[in-house]
Amino acid sequence: MFHILNHATFKASLLMTAGIIDHETGTRDMRQLAGLMRLMPWTATLAMIAAASMAGVPLANGFISKEMFFAEAVGVEHGPVWNVLVPLVATFGGICSVAYSLRFIHDVFFNGEPKNLPNPHPHEPPFMMKAPVLLLVVICVAVGVAPALTFGPLVHVAATAVLGGTPPDYYLSIWHGINLPLAMSGVALVGGVAMYFALQRRFNLHLHHPRGWTGRLIFTRTIDGLLALAGRFTQRLENGSLQRYAAWMVATSVLLAAWPWLVSDSPAPATGARRCCRPRHSPWWPGRCCWPRARRWRSATTTASAPWCWWVSSAWSPR
């Protein structure tokens, strides 16, 4: 719960910063953006603080979230392999978060001069456009310095509501001593900086276009496939036939009305007090002695809904 609040805070500020940059420059293409620190110093400062929180830099709320993740990773006890693998994977994830946070700041606000911007004269946006980002950045720093006083009461109320009782003991503090999670945070920070500059020097990330099955291509193909599948379902369901819409509504209503009885031990309505038997191997369906009653009840339900379906069909059928 604490990390959800932190993530919403710094990620929302970064997304609004991206909107400000798009508004002022006319593009979000990082191959064109560079050197905006000189042109938009206040926006750049706010973005750097938010990105530092996302990277887990101390005195920002993201640092506490990352340490809590690392502490849980170290506490995994599922055998010697998992005890080593989980902390390593968590540390590598921290390294990646530092690397892409640094890439955003370095490539957008430093790294030379802008190139072929649609709006060749970007400048600081109006204050009211920056005010939400400023508010969220202040929250990032305030929570990073005093987490128990800021998000602590909200976390307690939310955790109590979710768990339905008193949450387990937890401790929100900026300092938890010199321990393994702190060392993992240090490795993530140093490793992330080294990873970014090594990749930048080796590949020149602005000019690097990987080929083959990359993560971006897999993600894009997956989303395109899901959208195409949703489009086919929509075409089948929404074909302009009011009779079919009415039939789907009636069938869904009957199914929803019958479902609690079908998955429970209770007999069908108005069929007497006899209790349905249920085979041991099938906990989700009535037993043999219930089939006659189930048939009568479903037949009665269908008979009761048939006149309404007939009326809808005849009333909306083309003349």
The per-residue pLDDT for range 123-167, each reduced to its tens digit, is 999 999 999 999 999 999 999 999 999 999 999 898 898 888 888
Residues 307 and 304: their CA atoms lie apart, in Å, by 7
Same domain, residue pair 140 and 45: yes
In a domain, residue 224? The reply is no
What percentage of the chain has pLDDT greater than the value 90? 48
Same domain, residue pair 194 and 247: no
In a domain, residue 47? The reply is yes
Query: What number is the average pLDDT over the span 182-209?
Result: 86
Quick one: pLDDT at residue 105? 95
Residues 293 and 296: their CA atoms lie apart, in Å, by 5
End residue of a domain, out of 209, 233, 249 = 209
Residues 6 and 67: their CA atoms lie apart, in Å, by 13
Structure-block tokens of residue 27: 């593009």
Identity of the amino acid at 317: S
In a domain, residue 57? The reply is yes
Same domain, residue pair 263 and 186: no
Give the CA dihedral 146, 149, 152, 157, nearest 10 degrees: -160
What band does 267 get if pLDDT is binned at 50, 70 and 90? low
What band does 285 get if pLDDT is binned at 50, 70 and 90? very low
Same domain, residue pair 267 and 164: no
Q: 285 phi and psi, to 5 degrees?
A: -145, 145
Query: What number is the average pLDDT over the span 26-43?
Result: 90
Does residue 50 carry a pLDDT above 60? yes
Same domain, residue pair 251 and 197: no
Structural domain containing residue 291: 241-316
Which element (helix H / strand E) includes 18? helix 2-25
What band does 207 get if pLDDT is binned at 50, 70 and 90? low
Same domain, residue pair 159 and 292: no
Quick one: pLDDT at residue 85? 93
Which of 110-119, 193-202, 280-289 is least confident? Answer: 280-289
> Which residue is associated with the tokens 């370095």?
106
Query: What number is the average pLDDT over the span 217-225?
Result: 91
Query: What number is the average pLDDT over the span 78-102?
Result: 92
Same domain, residue pair 126 and 17: yes
Query: What number is the average pLDDT over the span 113-121?
Result: 88
Same domain, residue pair 246 and 205: no
> Which residue has better confidence, 56 or 289?
56
In a domain, residue 118? The reply is yes
| The model's pTM | 0.68
Q: Could you tell me the sign of the dihedral formed by the alpha carbons of 224, 226, 229, 230, in that order? A: negative
| Nearby residues of 192 by Cβ (< 8 Å), 6 or more positions away | 55, 94, 95, 96, 97, 98, 99, 101, 102
Number of domains in the chain: 2
Q: What distance, in Å, lies between the first and last C-alpha atoms of the chain? A: 59
3-state secondary structure labels for all residues of 160-181: HHHHCCCCCCCCCCCCCCCCHH
Does residue 121 carry a pLDDT above 80? yes
What band does 230 get if pLDDT is binned at 50, 70 and 90? very high
Query: What number is the average pLDDT over the span 92-107?
Result: 94
In a domain, residue 286? The reply is yes
Quick one: pLDDT at residue 143? 95
Quick one: pLDDT at residue 266? 57
Residues 207 and 232: their CA atoms lie apart, in Å, by 38
In a domain, residue 226? The reply is no
Identity of the amino acid at 283: P
> Which residue has better confidence, 299 or 260?
260
In a domain, residue 101? The reply is yes
Quick one: pLDDT at residue 7? 94
Same domain, residue pair 276 and 203: no
Structure-block tokens of residue 168: 């387990």
How far lies 110's CA from each of 33, 39, 64, 171, 245, in Å? Answer: 9, 11, 28, 39, 57
Q: Are 21 and 44 in contact (CB under 8 A)?
A: no
Question: Whole-number mean pLDDT of the chain?
Answer: 82
End residue of a domain, out of 185, 209, 233 = 209
Same domain, residue pair 55 and 117: yes
| Nearby residues of 255 by Cβ (< 8 Å), 6 or more positions away | none
End residue of a domain, out of 189, 209, 229 = 209
Same domain, residue pair 16 and 133: yes
DSSP states along 46-60? HHHHHHHHHHT-TTS
Residues 296 and 302: their CA atoms lie apart, in Å, by 10
Which of 120-134, 198-212, 283-297 is least confident? Answer: 283-297
Quick one: pLDDT at residue 208? 59
Same domain, residue pair 201 and 139: yes
Residues 112 and 25: their CA atoms lie apart, in Å, by 16
In a domain, residue 236? The reply is no
Give the CA dihedral 276, 279, 282, 286, nearest 10 degrees: -20
